[in-house]
Structure 1
Amino acid sequence: MPEESYGIIILAAGNSSRLGEPKQLLHFKDKSLICHVAEEAIAAIGSPVIIVTGSNYELIGSEVKFLPIQLEYNHHWQEGMASSISTGISALLKTNPSIRGIVITVSDQPFVTSALFRDLIETAKQTSKGIVASAYENTLGTPVLFQSQYFEHLLNLKGSEGAKKLLKRFKEDVAEVSFQLGRIDIDTKGDYQNLLNSKF
C-alpha cells in the first residue's frame, strides 16, 4: 500500500428514528443516498472504502452489493456513533495497518462529492494538519479527515460521542475545506421533502 494512502469510512448504522424509514435508502436524483456517497468515495480514492452498518444492515448490504466496498456490521450500533467509528477504524487497520489517514463521512449529506474527499486529502498533505474538516454554516463537521495519530483518540470515543469532540479538543491542529452544501442533511420527512423540492 502506498505510504500516503487514505481510506474512507461511511457511517450508516443508525435506525433513522426521526425519519421513520432508513435514510440511507432514500432516493435523490435517481440514486439512493448510500449508493451516492459510496460511489463518490470510490471515485475519490478507489479503495479502501468501508460502510459501517447496524440497523437495516441487510437492506443496505443489498443496496450496495455490486460496489467494490467493504461492509462491516457494528454489533453495538445502538450504543451510538462512537461504536460505529470504532468498528470502521478497527476493520480498516486490520487490512491496511500502514494507512496514513481516514475520512469519516455519513450517508445523509446528499451533496458530498469525490472532489470534496480529494480536497480533504490534499489539504491534509499541504498543511500537515492532523485533522481536516468540512466547513459550513459557521461550524465544522463531516466529512472530516483524521491522520493516523488520531486513530487512538477516535477508538476511545464513547456512546453518542462523535468526531466533533476531537475537532474542539485539538482545534489548533484543524484545517478547513469549504463545503457550504454540507448544511443539508436528512433527519426528518420535512428535510427530505425540502431536498426534493430544492433547485439543486
Structure 2
Amino acid sequence: MSKRVFTEGTEHIESTEQHSQNHAVIILASGLSQRLGQPKQLLVKNGEPLITDMTRLATTTNPQVIVIVIPDNHCLIASTMTELANQYPTVQIVVNSQADTGMAHSLSLGIETIVALETTSIDRVLIMGVDQVLLDEPHLTALLAGKQTVVASRYHSWQRLEKHQNRDEKVSDIIGLPLAINYKLLRQWQPELIGDKGFRHLIRELSADQIGEIDNDQLSYDIDTPEQLAFARKLGWLDS
C-alpha cells in the first residue's frame, strides 16, 4: 500500500515515515454520548467537527489506514465522515449497528477491517478515542516510538484534577487510550472483545516489561458531561 503524507514540511515527513509507516489507526467514535446529551463527535474545535480534527491528527502519524468506527443511523456524522474519506484515501468508515453494546464491539469491527486488508506490513495499531480534546501529535509520536507490546497513555481522572478534590484522597491513575499495541496480539484478543468488556483486563495480565506508559495529564480532559463541555469551552479548548 502506498504511503500518503498529509503534513507540511520535508523534515517532519521524514521523521514520521521513519517511525510510523508500519501501523494502522482505529478511531473509536461510535459512542452515543448519552450523558452529554449531544454527539461529542460533532462538537466543534478550530471550526470543524471534533471527529474531523481527530482524524487529521491521526493522519500526521502517516498510517497505512485509518479505520473510523461510527454509530448507525446518524446522518450528520456519516456525512462528515464521507467527506473525510473522499479527502483522505487512507480513511475507511465502519458503521457500528450495535453501538449501545459498548466499546468492545467497535474495536472488534475496527480489527476486522484491518484484517480484511490482508497486508503483512502492519506491526502495530494505534487506538484512539474522539473526545480527548488536548491530545496532540507529540503524544501519538511518543506512543508509536515505544518498543513494548503495549504502549498506553497514563493520566489522572477529571476528579483528581479538580481544585476541590481532597489531596489526601486516593484516586487511581488511568492507563488507557490512546495506546499503541502489537497487531498480532490485538488479533489474538479480538474474540474476547465483547460488549463493555474491552481489553483493559487483558493488558493487566501482561508482564510489566511488556507495557510502556507515556504520562500526559492533558488527556484527563475528555468530554462526557455538559459540565465538562462547558469547562472545555470556557478555556477555549472547544469552540462555543
**TM-score, structure 1 as length reference:** 0.89
Question: Which residue in 1 is equivalent to 2:185?
Answer: 150
Correspondence for 1:102: 125
Query: What's the offset of the Cα at 1:76?
Result: 2.3
Q: 1:121 aligns with which of 139, 144, 153?
A: 144
Secondary structure of residue in 2 paired with 1:45: coil
For 1:174 and 1:46, how far apart are their aligned partners in 2? 22
* Distance in 2, Cα, partners of 1:190 & 1:65: 31
Q: What letter corresponds to residue 224 of structure 2 in structure 1?
A: D
User: Can you give the 5+ residue segments of structure 2 that lack an aligned partner in the other structure?
Assistant: 4-19, 157-172
Confirm whether residue 112 of structure 1 aligns to residue 115 of structure 2.
no
Q: How many residues align?
A: 196
Which moves more between the two structures, 177-186 or 161-170? 161-170
Which residues of 2 match residues 16-165 of structure 1 at below 5 A?
16-67=33-84, 68=88, 69-98=91-120, 99-124=122-147, 129-137=148-156, 138-151=173-186, 152-165=188-201
Structure 1 portions without partners, runs of 5+:
none
Q: 1:14 to 1:55 in 2, by over 3 A?
A: farther
Would the alpha carbon gap of residues 92 and 70 (structure 1) be closer, same or farther in structure 2, given more than 3 Å must change? same
Equivalents in 1 of 2:232, 2:73: separation in Å? 23
1:112-169 CA distance string (max 9 Å, x none): 2222222111113xxxx11000111222110011102322214421110123222222
SS at match of 1:66: helix
